[in-house]
Structure 1
Amino acid sequence: MRKSILALTTSAFGIGTSEFIIMGLLPDLARSFSVSIPKAGLLVSAYAISVTIGSPLVALALSRVERKRSLVLLMGIFVLGNLACALAPTFGFLLAARILTALCHGAFFGTGSIVASNLVPKEKRSQAIAMMFTGLTLANVLGVPAGTALGHAFGWRYSFVALLPVGILAILGLIFFVPEQASEPVRLRHELTTVLKPKVQVVLALSTLSSVSLFTVFTYIAPMLGTVTHLAPNAITWVLVLFGAGITIGNIVGGKLSDWRQMTTILGGMALVMAVLLVMPFVEPHALPIALTVFVWGLVHFAAAVPLQARIVEKARAAPNLASTLNQGAFNFGNALGASLGGLVLTAGYSYRSLPFVAAGVIVLVLLLALAARHLDKTQLSEPDLVFDRSSFHMH
């Protein structure tokens, strides 16, 4: 069982690194293809939109395929997509390669969650799923900084080349260690009816908007630190390490706080996110203060996001498969919107220091929607507030 979960974790590590590594490489990619930073930001948006639209379609297409075979096929797409990224001769080709790579993202985590839960007794299912999703956390702590450093040292193409052995290792682990699991019929109409309910849509909207705020700034974190703070590429890598450490701690803290009171954690956490974002522009010129601020930003944002993952599972109990896939889509849709919003702000002539203010404005919308969600909870007294098992949370 442990080897099976490790194979799934390795796959999650590769997928997470591939998604987020683009942020640290954005200035290099812009120079390489002679495009502006906002245009290079399309690489983030295109990936996210592909996950948002493609994941449910791919999951539906593979719904009748034996699950182990589906996972191997999806990781094959991952390897092919990253190889295409490494060899991309033009910006348009790289954009298409990123779209291809993203197709494996949401469908893999949706299917992988089911496979992981079936590998263990019922009382250990949450732990098994959480173990798989630690691959995503490790991607931000280790994979993204290491890949960014490799790209700065030898060229951005090597960052994608380095992902190929990770993908191949994951495929071999899936083949040799994950047992076969028959697919189950999907009651599409029933699941669609469930996820279209207002209580579920509100949670998806919260996930989307919180992601918009995050990626309005995080997409452009490398050029921001290089241009405003004047950090060297290796120093930017260490700031990304701090961000990864912050989100890891945030997951743990958010889980404990959510055990106490769910909506209080969301509202209080997002209020703190807004405060950090309002401070960020004033400390950006100074290396140590901005590094500390980025760490705290990652911590409080992901602490506030923990209950959102818990709520989607609770509010869509009758359609966990589709809800899980759609939550990945909601996060990535927010990713795309945030990258685009930040790009529009920069294209309009505003500086990098304006981005945190825009992101803070988005958090105001999150807080208003969260207040509406709390009111909706009070009107549905038959549905008690979720007591969250933090072992079941995963980062998007």
Structure 2
Amino acid sequence: MDPTSSGPGRSASSGPGRSTTRGPEPVTPRLSAGLVALAWMTQFLVGTDLFVVAPLLPDIAASLHVAPARTGLLITAFSLAYVVASPFAGRLSDRHDRARILSAALVLFSLANVATALAPSFGLLLATRVVAGVAAAATGPTVYALVSTRAQATARAQVLAVVGSGLLTALWVGAPAGAVLSRHAGWQATFFILAAGTCVLAVPHAFVWRSGRTAPAGPTAAAGSVPGAGTPAPGGQRGGGEAAFAVAVTALWAFSVYSLYTYLAVALHADGRAADVAWLLVVYGIAAVAGGQAGGRLADRAGAVRVTGVALALMAVTEVAVALVFPTTWALTVALVLFASAAYAFFPAQQRHLVDTFPERATGMLSWNNSALFVGLSLAGAVGGPVVHSWGYPQLLYLGAAVAVPAWLLTRHRAGARRPPGR
């Protein structure tokens, strides 16, 4: 059998003259390096569009003559649009051709960025970011679903980690590059380039995924051999309550991670270490990419459930360590590397768990998962500001570590529910 196939596609005989052949199942075409590169670049460009807005806010405020504090609404509008639209986009993608949905979303994303660059007023600019958030909601989860359904079951989380590293690379490469471009050519140039890039990518996406039917992802090939991979209910369907608990873990994880990340630069500035911000963020980003790759490999070998639990436990411990050593830069650097490595090992393992557990609605679950991520991120921003202002940055980190504990407890419940009989 072709190792890239996600379904058996074989006949079985239960005795002479009696066949239990169910007919051939769809065979998943091979996932080539070119497809992975295309998916990575898509995540990189969409991620750059998300992360680049923050460093451009002062330039946007000066250009459109609005208060700098008001421009923060651009990030809020994008995030809220993403949270609301993502589940609907995921359901649409699961019911229709994923490649077609992805191409259409990239074209819409490109048009939204052109409109962003040309917006003559802040009100219209805000509207364009809402449209961009809706388009982005249909891109990321669909990309993840397309690659996961073609990946070998024994390497699914690793592939998801590689593609997801495009988003993390945007954090420490794409966003700073956009900020540099803005200083020399204006903030509008950044969005014109992003529009051109996503429009170009829409063309290959419309064709390269059509070389055969893609079978639903599932743990068929791996659940029996990988601890904690999960065993879906008959037909691959599970209840809505279980789905809600599954993505709630991501929301708690995101709050813990982004309470640390969002206010790190602010805390360093207040502590008189503004010169350390740039290189510490680069170190953090590199550690996050490395952690994601390690998490993907470990999830495929040791089981997705086990990796999510260990990652959350280590994340809570290292976030406390960051709080304790914050005044000392060299110790802070070490603690940030350990924290980012542990924290971002969680995400590809969580994605694999969702695809394995909910194979018939993989895109929808990945969409809900991304929405949960943005919910946690938004709450971290909303809660973190008052906490830092009233009690200081280390106290926010203690809160973030505390929030990781119930997330870890949910994975413990998940592990018990997934343990096969007799083990």
TM-score tier (shorter):
0.7 to 0.9
Query: Could you tell me the TM-score, scaled by structure 2's length?
Result: 0.72
- Cα 1:82/1:330, change in 2 over 3 Å: same
Q: Which residue number in structure 2 is paired with residue 245 of structure 1?
A: 286
Pick aligned residue for 1:206 from 249, 254, 259: 249
Q: Which residue number in structure 1 is paired with residue 262 of structure 2?
A: 219
| 2:318–2:335 contact (8 Å) kept in structure 1 | no
Which letter maps to 2:401?
A: I
Which letter maps to 1:319?
A: R
User: How many residues are aligned here?
Assistant: 370
Which letter maps to 2:244?
A: Q
- Cα 1:360/1:5, change in 2 over 3 Å: same
- Structure with the largest fraction of helix: 1
Q: Which residue number in structure 1 is paired with residue 238 of structure 2?
A: 194
Q: How does 1:287-306 map to 2 (within 5 A)?
A: 293-306=335-348
Query: Tell me, which stretches of 5 or more residues in structure 1 are unaligned?
Result: 386-396
Which letter maps to 1:159?
A: T
Q: How does 1:1-396 map to 2 (within 5 A)?
A: 1-29=32-60, 34-37=66-69, 39-61=70-92, 65-117=96-148, 129-175=160-206, 177-179=208-210, 194=238, 196-198=240-242, 200-231=243-274, 236-255=277-296, 258=299, 259-260=301-302, 261-262=306-307, 264-279=309-324, 281-283=326-328, 293-317=335-359, 319-345=361-387, 350=389, 354-375=392-413, 377-378=415-416, 381-382=419-420
- Cα 1:383/1:340, change in 2 over 3 Å: farther
- Cα 1:139/1:220, change in 2 over 3 Å: same
Q: CA deviation at 1:121?
A: 7.0
| 2:308–2:350 contact (8 Å) kept in structure 1 | no
Q: CA deviation at 1:244?
A: 1.6
- CA distance in structure 1 between the aligned counterparts of 2:61 and 2:324, rounded to whole angstroms: 28
Q: CA deviation at 1:225?
A: 4.3
Q: What are the Cα deviations for residues 266-298 of structure 1, in whole angstroms up to 9, with x where unaligned?
A: 343222342244136534xx5x66555544442
| 2:181–2:189 contact (8 Å) kept in structure 1 | yes
| 2:256–2:404 contact (8 Å) kept in structure 1 | no
Most deviating of 139-148 and 254-263: 254-263
Q: Which residue number in structure 2 is paired with residue 393 of structure 1?
A: none
Which letter maps to 1:215?
A: Y
- Cα 1:253/1:122, change in 2 over 3 Å: closer
| 1:13–1:135 contact (8 Å) kept in structure 2 | yes
| 1:239–1:291 contact (8 Å) kept in structure 2 | yes
Most deviating of 2-11 and 334-343: 2-11
Percent identity for Structure 1 against Structure 2: 24
- CA distance in structure 2 between the aligned counterparts of 1:65 and 1:158, rounded to whole angstroms: 35
Q: CA deviation at 1:247?
A: 0.4
Q: What are the Cα deviations for residues 178-228 of structure 1, in whole angstroms up to 9, with x where unaligned?
A: 43777999xxxx999735233x33331121012123223433455554454
What SS is found at the alignment partner of 2:238? helix
What SS is found at the alignment partner of 1:282? coil
Q: CA deviation at 1:80?
A: 1.6
- Cα 1:245/1:160, change in 2 over 3 Å: same
- The CA RMSD over aligned residues, in Å, is 3.8
- Cα 1:379/1:113, change in 2 over 3 Å: closer
Q: What are the Cα deviations for residues 48-94 of structure 1, in whole angstroms up to 9, with x where unaligned?
A: 22222101223344555543332221101211222233233444333
| 1:82–1:97 contact (8 Å) kept in structure 2 | yes
| 1:212–1:359 contact (8 Å) kept in structure 2 | no
- Cα 1:152/1:122, change in 2 over 3 Å: same
- Cα 1:159/1:279, change in 2 over 3 Å: farther
- CA distance in structure 1 between the aligned counterparts of 2:298 and 2:156, rounded to whole angstroms: 22
Which letter maps to 1:213?
A: S
Most deviating of 60-69 and 99-108: 60-69
Query: Tell me, which stretches of 5 or more residues in structure 2 are unaligned?
Result: 1-31, 217-233
| 1:280–1:356 contact (8 Å) kept in structure 2 | no
What SS is found at the alignment partner of 2:392? helix
| 1:137–1:248 contact (8 Å) kept in structure 2 | yes
Q: What are the Cα deviations for residues 33-60 of structure 1, in whole angstroms up to 9, with x where unaligned?
A: 54354x5443333322222210122334
- Cα 1:257/1:67, change in 2 over 3 Å: closer
- Cα 1:383/1:252, change in 2 over 3 Å: farther
- CA distance in structure 2 between the aligned counterparts of 1:2 and 1:213, rounded to whole angstroms: 34
